[in-house]
Structure 1
Amino acid sequence: MYEGERTQREAARSLARLLPRVAQAFADAGGSADDWTVFEQRLRREWPRLFALLLGLYGTQYDFFYHLEQLLLAMAQSWCERPVWLKQRDAAREADTEWFQSERMMGGVLYVDRFCGTLNRLREFIPYFKELGFTYLHLMPLFEAPEGNNDGGYAVSSYRRINPQIGTTAELAGLARELDAAGISLVLDFVFNHTSDEHEWARRAQAGDPDYQEFYFLFPDRSMPDAYERTLREIFPTVRRGSFTWRPDMQRWVWTTFNSFQWDLNYANPAVFRAMAGEMLFLANLGIAVLRLDAVPFIWKRLGTNCENQPEAHQIIQAFNAIARIAAPALLFKSEAIVHPDDVLSYISPWECQLSYNPLLMALLWESLATREVKLLAHSLSHRFRLPAGCAWINYLRSHDDIGWTFDDNDARAVGIDPWGHRQFLNTFYTGRFPGSFARGLPFQENPDTGDARVSGTLASLAGLEQALGSGDPNQIDIAIRRILLLHSVILSIGGIPLIYVGDEVGTLNDYRYVTDPTKAADSRWVHRPKRNQAAMDQRHDTTTVAGRIFGELVRLIRLRAQLPALRDGGMEIARSENRHVLAYVRQSGSQRVFVLANFSEYSQTIAGNLLRMYGPGNELFDLVGERTVSANEALILAPYQFVWLTPER
């Protein structure tokens, strides 16, 4: 008998044995017969996959079937408690599995406390989000976390209690429903690699509870930490050298990949997997539409490796995916894997993470802006952009985090670039140290041993607006605005879901006041996490202001995108522009075709007419952005940082 057939037989037998008890528990909890029928159908569909994954992860554990039964009971209980409106959304999105691949999808991301203070206050800004065309709103971590430095909320002390200064869990659930009624899907982080050292599980471990000590990696001496660290890379070298923290209260070393107050969870323990599955289903039942899976590469540890992107990490996420398909089918996963492009792609599939950040596009857009050349961007996208059916990129220009140069070294060498030297140049350029640089960024986590670093800064400051405003030169201000709009034009037209860090739409600059706060001063990422720029928002309809120019053009592009099915998620073909400064690509859906050209230089560039005839949809074209006719029988002149979206003549 083949191994797969044996596993399928075991899956069938286990379900037959466990199902009666689960059905009885569902009925005892007040679940209806109709709801049970729906649950059972989904369970039978997903069970072979879920069972095989869990068997591979935990099948050698003596109590494997106990954990399996408890997981089934928790799933049934969660479905029984799932609000009716969410069950209706489940059914609708199961019937329309491509709902998130529409040309109308538009995302925004913000910190609630930085933007407006509270969840209740955030409701007042729903009209603003709709004005921007948002159909997707990501709220950065807002759950209980330690006072002071908590890694921007990523040190979670409870997955079920909101930071009381921000609001309550009931208010979050109410906001989710109100956003849904406005056509906006709510996105939250699922910080499942680690908890804070103040989480209940960590406190029990600190108190000596052996069950909860097995939730983490605790070592009495340096022998095992030293063995692991021979192959680990340092993530926050300026915060703490190494990946382990000594806890004198426990007389133990604790695995802390990121900060000393963030304890890595031990997913080799099935109790950890089951506990986190329960937290995931709790969040899903609040009305969360998408969970951003934080730090996905790090969730499985193996001695002798860098403990990143291990096979079991994928199995764990796939198992969470199967659980969601059973008990919360409308829930999607978005992976946060800021690693090598090959590893980023490995997390993306309908059965793992349907969505993923696109760090390669983000990094190489900034690379092209600095070099004024698109050769690395075009070469990398030509073979690294395509995704499996049923999946989509989240295309962004910046986030709450730093910018790292995660391009592939061989891609760089293929176009004549030295990878190490180029990363040094980019760090120098975007921290304003390179002669003639327009950028005003700050270094993040410079490693004196390796020379590695990343970059912090708002989009506007990195794109030159801060420098231009300081000079008072209207020409430089105009050029900076053109850069900002050029970058947005690409994420709006290249396919996937565009994501705006709220504040960028009005040209928010770096906020250097973070250095006066002792809990933030050591983390330069706070320079691009400013409070709401209300003054700029008030100017958004005044096109004589910088904020108004950026906002007005950006909203116009967003509305234009929403009218172009060719820009929905799907195929993207890189075209050879024969001009090293101009990125060119084709978007097509059905009979509609759009040819995009983007000039990454501050000088005018010429595109030959034969290129327009080769890739463009006809001899007479219409530039949707400039609202003008373009003839493919003559050369096209692109002004500095100009972009065009070409379709057949109207």
Structure 2
Amino acid sequence: MQTDLAPGFPANPLGIPESTGRRARVALTRLRPVLARHARERIVAGRLDAELWPAFERRLERHFPDLYGHLLALYAGRDDIAHHTERLLLVALDSWLARPAELQRRDADREGTFWYTDHTLVAGVCYVDRFAGDLRGLAERIPYLRQLGIGLLHLMPLFAVPPGQNDGGYAVSDYRQVRPDLGTVDDLRALATALHDAGIALALDFVFNHTASDHRWARELRAAPAGAVDDEDQNPYLMFPDRTVPDAYDGTLREIFPETRSGSFSFDAELGRWVWTTFNSYQWDLDYTNPGVFVRMAGEMLALANMGADVLRLDAVAFTWKRIGTGSESLPQAHDLVRAYNALVRIAAPAMVFLSEAIVHPDEVVSYIDPAECPLSYNPLQMALGWEALATRNTSLLRQSLSHRLALPPGCAWLNYVRSHDDIGWTFDDGDAGLVGINGFDHRAFLNRFYTGRFDGSFARGLPFQENPKTGDARVTGTTASLAGLEKALTEEGPAEVDLAIGRILALYGVAFALPGMPLIYLGDELATRNDHGYRADPDRAGDSRWANRPAMAWDRLPLTQQAGTPEARVNEGLARLTLLRRHPAFAGPATTVLDPGDDAVFAFVRRTGDDAVLVLANWTERPVALPAQVVTAALAVPQVTDLLGGDDWSSDAGTITLAPYQQRWLTTRSIVRD
């Protein structure tokens, strides 16, 4: 929070230095009686626990200065900030008073802790319908999730959406209604309770850059008198009467979905306005320069918290604030926006934390990661460069990039993943690429060709997504198994290629599990699930190749995990072993040193916590590799070690340490793994 002289404040005739901290204290002094009276009335009327107000007041006292400081950074020039701040705190208070008792107990247990940094946590992600049919069906699969070792379950968007196209659920029509085919809000609350009872935290999406064009707010705007579109109290969206301002913006904005349309604005004939639509014409961007929008969305956010969410994934966080002459991504105000919401959550639902979804330049990714902003973040660099190293059979860019981009502030953690519901974008830094002799533009073009099977010798069977003919940019979609070569090996090749494909799958997941952070399994990957090409037969999905990597869970193939030698069994067993061995005490802390093993085929790093250390050696190629013994002895300072993955011992007397194609070794002097 800013504590120096605030330039937006008039000079103080008493000579008292003005700062956001002082203004926050003054504001809270005025607001506290209003809030206390409101709390007493609600507690008496609802026969609630009288201690609810003191608990809220204690956290309000602690976190309001941060909240108010960020609100001032966003809205200091407005004359209605006091009005909106009061409304905001009343929303937070009502949410706290309505918060289920079991979640309030969770708040008390977790407040001030970094529970999400526990190194034994493994995350899973799925679409409810694709995984289990509906919410009740998913509840029945909790034993399966526990068997996999899942400790955090992210459910892809499950709230009401428009009929037809809805961007995979990211066009939300109602944040407080579950899609009817998935169940009800009561079903979601019951699932959250069941997950918590099983020791599994719940992650939900907070889609807060935009709503669906049929959201209640949009419908009310269409039904209102003509002047409502220009009234910020009635119109929460970014709209323009003609192309003058949109054209000024479009000159510096990148196109997110160029296959769908050109530009970032769509004309709504009914309202006679150009609407800001960053992603699709049916997703209307919200206007956060209006503090009333901040208050509206705060209510939706806290409603998700009270449904049982432990983690909120902040969708499209980089796009929330716009300014002419910029790319309107990752502007300073976007950070103030998230930090203000974070402070509000610390007051009204402190058990919940934010997960940043900022798939942007690595420097921008890390800018969102902080306990006061988003303590959890996807690790898109680790994801993209794992695939890059497989394609090139060279780990130099992976090593160069992660050697200085892994460290995070205390109390924060990466979410390491191999693939997602979305696409793969090659978001590495061109400066890092240049240091290892790679031209970034040309290399991205190569990777797109390689993973869409357009490069001779490619093992991948991915699909292109949103190719931009003007820039040559594109992304890639596909399941882990199909991108790693298993689809091609099973349909076009033979057992040797199947072995290599399984090696690639486990190489990617092995590094995701061994690096600092929480590993994430896209559910279905544990069954080596291949692309679902049937999406092309669905008119609402045919134009979106991402549906190829969102296949329905193949429960009929689950018995194959018990048949030795099948791809399903080998991948399933490999992931189970990674989940178990990750409990080794060396992985408890974040300390990681990336090494140069002297052979670019191998990615090497040391994880260390206290006296415990694990040296990870990962062969990223289909050829065997022999490294000199000094690689091990220099890293661990001992002549004899045990390979956690292989179970065998190694001595420096051997002179070299060998790695089979795509083999990983997790070498340590202490093979004890906590149950």
Distance in structure 2 (CA, Å) of the matches to 1:557 and 1:616:
21
Q: Does 1:12 align with 2:22?
A: no
CA apart distance, 1:192? 0.1
Distance in structure 1 (CA, Å) of the matches to 2:416 and 2:167:
23
CA apart distance, 1:205? 2.1
Structure 1 residue identity aligned to 2:569: G
SS of residue matched to 1:159? strand
Question: Where do 1:126-525 residues align within 5 Å?
Answer: 126-208=142-224, 209=228, 210-211=231-232, 214-525=235-546
Distance in structure 2 (CA, Å) of the matches to 1:611 and 1:21:
66
Distance in structure 2 (CA, Å) of the matches to 1:424 and 1:56:
41
Q: Does 1:558 align with 2:571?
A: no
Distance in structure 1 (CA, Å) of the matches to 2:660 and 2:330:
44
SS of residue matched to 1:33? coil
Distance in structure 2 (CA, Å) of the matches to 1:223 and 1:551:
56
- The 4+ residue runs of structure 1 with deviation greater than 6 A are none
CA apart distance, 1:538? 2.5
Retained in 2: the 8 A contact 1:106–1:497? yes
Counterpart of 2:548 (choices 507, 527, 542) is 527
SS of residue matched to 1:429? helix
Q: Does 1:57 align with 2:71?
A: no
CA apart distance, 1:472? 4.7
State the match for 2:5 in structure 1.
3
Structure 1 residue identity aligned to 2:617: L
Distance in structure 1 (CA, Å) of the matches to 2:588 and 2:448:
34
Retained in 1: the 8 A contact 2:232–2:290? no
User: Structure 1-normalised TM-score?
Assistant: 0.98
Which whole-Å deviations, capped at 9, do the CAs of 1:73-101 have from their partners, x for residues lacking one? 11111111111111111111125x13211
State the match for 2:64 in structure 1.
47
State the match for 2:631 in structure 1.
611
State the match for 1:88 in structure 2.
105
Distance in structure 2 (CA, Å) of the matches to 1:453 and 1:308:
19
Structure 1 residue identity aligned to 2:513: L
SS of residue matched to 1:594? strand
Q: Report the count of equivalent residues.
A: 648
Structure 1 residue identity aligned to 2:148: L
Alpha carbons of 1:543 and 1:569: their partners in 2 closer, same or farther (altered >3 Å)? farther
Q: Give the share of equivalent positions with the same residue, in percent.
A: 52
Structure 2 residue identity aligned to 1:17: R
SS of residue matched to 1:241? coil
State the match for 1:627 in structure 2.
647
Q: CA RMSD in A?
A: 1.2
SS of residue matched to 1:536? helix
CA apart distance, 1:32? 3.1
Retained in 2: the 8 A contact 1:340–1:406? yes
State the match for 2:622 in structure 1.
602
CA apart distance, 1:617? 5.0
Structure 2 residue identity aligned to 1:275: R
Unaligned runs of 5+ in 1: none
SS of residue matched to 1:366? helix
Q: Does 1:32 align with 2:52?
A: no
State the match for 2:118 in structure 1.
102
SS of residue matched to 2:203? strand
Distance in structure 1 (CA, Å) of the matches to 2:494 and 2:300:
53
SS of residue matched to 1:53? helix
User: Structure 2-normalised TM-score?
Assistant: 0.95
Unaligned runs of 5+ in 2: 7-16
Retained in 2: the 8 A contact 1:496–1:569? no
Distance in structure 2 (CA, Å) of the matches to 1:3 and 1:481:
60
Alpha carbons of 1:298 and 1:547: their partners in 2 closer, same or farther (altered >3 Å)? same
Retained in 1: the 8 A contact 2:589–2:608? no
Retained in 2: the 8 A contact 1:495–1:570? yes
Which is worse superposed, 7-16 or 104-113?
A: 7-16
SS of residue matched to 1:480? helix
SS of residue matched to 1:603? coil
Distance in structure 1 (CA, Å) of the matches to 2:79 and 2:222:
26
Distance in structure 1 (CA, Å) of the matches to 2:140 and 2:243:
53
Structure 1 residue identity aligned to 2:503: R
Distance in structure 2 (CA, Å) of the matches to 1:395 and 1:581:
21
Which whole-Å deviations, capped at 9, do the CAs of 1:563-614 have from their partners, x for residues lacking one? x121135111101111110000000111110000000010000111011110
CA apart distance, 1:343? 0.3
